[in-house]
Structure 1
């Protein structure tokens, strides 16, 4: 067996353009690739008849974030909650969480104001336009 190395963290979204704009324009991540995939090999690989997808890859200081919009789209499973098994989130660090929080646009939903946990880490959870959870923490 070969050794594994990290490649990306993926989020499936319903509106790639809106979600990409959020991660690029609001959170300041750099787009490193944008592409589409279709055909029988892709549909077989993802086990979705006739599937095609649009992808955007963003750089989060060494972590590649992959946003993917599928056609056809699956039925929504409901909003993710932090304590539900299987829930995913993207974690991003900033140098000054309070300044980041103050600069957030008013229409970005947050779970709470920045909070310092028992470990001394200050965190903030917000939601992207697709309702995915994004954790912002002090670097």
Structure 2
């Protein structure tokens, strides 16, 4: 029997590594854990999401996000969603307003420079992730 400990990383493709690194570092505050090198050149990197979770990024020219992709988005838990939204807006990046979702979590949405959708999440005391119970979708 296998026991999963946690999600280790999500891998995304990027058209422009520098632009993508800038976005995740300066807009979302994620530090580079390490780079992937080939022939002395950086072709990818790992971003630290806190704890043992990461976003893995590789350069892939011509990549684009589609609503038909098998993975639709990834979600980052933040300490203060209102502060996160204000910071993201101050960097000139579009982000939705905070919404209380049907699972009683606060959420907001944005996209990275490659079109990858990112959900920001702040748990509440009533979040279904802690309390359980079915929830009726409101979308």
Counterparts of 1:32-47 in structure 2 under 5 Å? 32-37=33-38
One of 57, 66, 81 as aligned partner of 1:80: 66
Q: Does residue 1:117 correspond to 2:101, yes or no?
A: yes
Shift of 1:109: 2.2
Q: Could you state the TM-score of these two structures normalised by the residue count of structure 2?
A: 0.72
Question: Partners in 1 of 2:107 and 2:31 — Cα distance?
Answer: 22
The answer for the alignment partner of 1:69 in structure 2 is: 59
Q: Could you state the TM-score of these two structures normalised by the residue count of structure 1?
A: 0.72
- 8 A Cα contact 1:14 1:69, kept in partner: yes
CA RMSD of aligned residues (A): 2.6
Structure 1 residue runs of 4+, over 6 Å off? 1-5
* Structure 1: gaps spanning 5 or more residues: 39-51
One of 33, 54, 57 as aligned partner of 2:43: 54
Q: Does residue 1:27 correspond to 2:42, yes or no?
A: no
Question: Partners in 2 of 1:13 and 1:125 — Cα distance?
Answer: 19
Shift of the 7–117 alpha-carbon distance from structure 1 to 2, 3 Å rule, reads closer
